[in-house]
Structures are given as structure tokens and as C-alpha cells.
Amino acid sequence: MTTSRDQVVRMLALVPYLQGRDGIPVKEVAAEFGVSAKQIRDDLRLLMYVGPGQLPGELIDFDLGALEHDGVIHIRDAEFMTRPLRLNAREAVALIVALRTLRASTSGAQTSVIDGALSKLESAMGQDVTAAVDVHVDRVDPQIHTAVEQAVTHGKRLAISYATASRDDRTDRQVDPRRLFTSQGRLYLEAWCLTAQDLRFFRLDRMLTAEVTPHDAEQHDVEPRDLAAGLFTVGADAPYAVLDLQPHAHWLTDYYQVDVVEIHGDVRRVKMFGADWSWLRRLVLRNAGSISVVEPAFLADEVHRHAVAALAAYDGDDTPSKE
């Protein structure tokens, strides 16, 4: 599995490598970088969006005809890569904050690399830039953090024990990692859960154990989740609904912003926040049979009305019910 970090490092090395080897065969480049010819072609297509501007001559260009038909690479308009990097104050502050966030979100050998880059950048900018920002990321068990990073980097399946939001139970799962990221000061793993047979987000601070398995992670054909809907900041006016979740819907407490109100047997009553009312309505409809709306009443009515209309459409009747 090629990680985004590996791809960025490779593409940065590709440009100077190709500048002195005009007409080099794609297969030779692939062998040199230890990846497939298809991966090199994909890298080159991404590089065509890179440059100091957006006008012709300001973006890296390749002879696509020669690339596709002859299997050779001719690079053009990449001379800017030899120019010294110049950052204005705003760009430097943004980069420093990004590096501090990355430093707080990583572990192992990577930390020394990030520390070195951060030290050089802060030293180079001197008194011209002051990034008075302290990045805080919730503490995670270093062994768990390292195991997750290794699974993501090497494309291995991960075995985890996970505590749910209400902390009333623990589940053992195997997951195929997709990416590790930070949101709102917390580290998350996006992975395909073999238990749920669906894409899930797992907070690393809720992982009780994590172990890299010898099995390769599989690729799953699934659309990316809407992170803005699942991981957003709850404001004073954020819409919310009180919902009863049956066992098949308990995963929602790990995936979305919820407050567990009370638990009755297998049913969890939660206060679930949403980006807007239409999003909450769609969430309930998508999980029909596993979620019931307790309040507000108008949301329950909307869910009922849309469900009846959908059933009528399946029956070939486009006239909404008046019930």
C-alpha cells in the first residue's frame, strides 16, 4: 500500500531526477523508485498540478503522448524547482503550526525528522515570524500509537480492543487501516471494520490494545465519509435530536458527536448533534429499524413522511400519503 507520505517524498525526488534524464523509459524510473509503472504515471499526472502559479509555463508539464504511447518521460516547465524557497510571514506561520500539529500526532523515528525541519524553519525565519500557537493533541498510549502507524504504513490488518463512547462495553475487532489523522485535538484511525463490514472512525485514545497482524489489509470499494458531518464542533445552536439506538446502531456513538443520555437494556438513548435537520433526517432514514426519534416531534413526523413517500415510490405510486 502506497501511503500519501511516501508518495509526496517520491514526487519531490522525481522532478530533479527527471530533469537530468530527458526521454527516460517509465519502466526504468519505476525500477529505480521501487514502485510500479502505473504508480509513476499516477505521480506524473499529479505533478502536472504543481507550480508557482496557474498559467501555462507556471505548472510542471509532461509530454502525455510520449508517456502513454512510447512509455518515455519528457518533463517541461519544472525549472522553478531549482529556485530557493521563499516564504512570506503568513506562509511560514502556517507551516510551523502544521509541523507542530504533525509533531504532536506522530511517534517513533519520525519525531526527530519533524523536530529537525521545525528547528530549521523557525531559525531561518528568526524574529520575522512568531507562531504563538501551542498545539494540543490528546495523549495516546505510545505502543498503541506505534502499532497503528505501522499498520497504516505497511498496509497490515490491525487487531484492536475498543471502548465505546459510553465506556460501558469493550469490543474486539479486526480492521483494515486507511489513514491516520487529527481532528479537534484527537487522533483518529479511518479503517474498514470487519465486524461492521463498513468504514469506521476509531479514536486512538479509546483503543485499549492494538496489534499489527501478519495479514495484508484489503482494499475496499467504499465512498469516503463526510468528515464535516461526523466530526464537527458543537455550537450553542447546533441542531440535535434525542434518539433510541438499537444494538445494530450502537456504532453511531463511536462515529458521530453524541451524548449518551441513558441506557435501557440493549437500547441506548442519546442526544445526537447534526450539521442540520436534513442531515439528521437522512441519518435516521438510512438506519431505519435501528433508530427511533424520541424528540423533537417535527423530526419524527418528517422521517415518517419521507419513509411513506419512499415506500409509495417503490409501489409505483408517486402520490405522497396524507397520513
Question: Whole-angstrom Cα distance, residue 232 to residue 242?
Answer: 18
For residue 66, the 8-state DSSP code is: I
CA distances from 21 to 15, 17, 274 (A): 10, 7, 54
What is the rounded average pLDDT of the residues 77-95? Answer: 64
Size of the chain in residues: 323
Residue 13 has a pLDDT of 81
* Confidence band, pLDDT 50/70/90 cuts, at residue 73: very high
What residues pair up with 73 in beta bridges, in sequence order?
A: 24
Q: Residue 203 in 3-state DSSP?
A: strand
Residue 87 has a pLDDT of 62
* CB-CB neighbours of 258 under 10 Å: 19
Question: Whole-angstrom Cα distance, residue 215 to residue 229?
Answer: 32
251 CB contacts (<8 Å, ≥6 apart)? Answer: 196, 198, 200
* Confidence band, pLDDT 50/70/90 cuts, at residue 197: confident
Peptide bond into 224 cis (omega under 30): no
Residue 86 has a pLDDT of 60
**What is the domain partition of the chain in residue ranges?**
4-82, 89-128, 142-216, 232-314
Residue 228 has a pLDDT of 45
Question: Whole-angstrom Cα distance, residue 188 to residue 178?
Answer: 11
What is the rounded average pLDDT of the residues 28-43? Answer: 88
CA distances from 296 to 148, 289, 307 (A): 40, 18, 17
Please report which helix (H) or strand (E) contains residue 206, including its range.
none
CB 105 within 8 A of CB 187: yes
Q: Is the pLDDT of residue 214 over 90?
A: yes
Q: Read off φ and ψ for residue 67, nearest 5 degrees.
A: -65, -45
Residue 57 has a pLDDT of 61
Q: Residue 83 in 3-state DSSP?
A: coil
Residue 35 has a pLDDT of 86
Please state, for a pLDDT cut of 90, what percent of the chain lies above it: 15
Name the burial class of residue 25, with classes exposed (0-12), middle (13-18) and buried (19+) by CB atoms within 10 angstroms of its CB.
Answer: middle
Residue by residue, DSSP assigns 104-126 as HH--TTHHHHHHHHHHHHHHHHG
Peptide bond into 296 cis (omega under 30): yes
What is the rounded average pLDDT of the residues 266-283? Answer: 84
Q: What's the pTM value of the predicted model, to 2 decimals?
A: 0.43
Q: Is the pLDDT of residue 233 over 50?
A: no
CA distances from 135 to 71, 98, 107, 143, 247 (A): 46, 9, 15, 22, 37
Question: Whole-angstrom Cα distance, residue 258 to residue 158?
Answer: 26
* Confidence band, pLDDT 50/70/90 cuts, at residue 215: very high
6 CB contacts (<8 Å, ≥6 apart)? Answer: none
Question: Whole-angstrom Cα distance, residue 163 to residue 260?
Answer: 14
The answer as to CATH 1.10.10 being correct for domain 4-82 is yes
Could you please state the CATH topology (level 3) that the domain comprising 142-216 is classified under: SH3 type barrels. (2.30.30)
Q: Residue 272 in 3-state DSSP?
A: strand
Question: Whole-angstrom Cα distance, residue 60 to residue 49?
Answer: 7
Question: Whole-angstrom Cα distance, residue 204 to residue 53?
Answer: 39
Q: Is the pLDDT of residue 308 over 90?
A: no
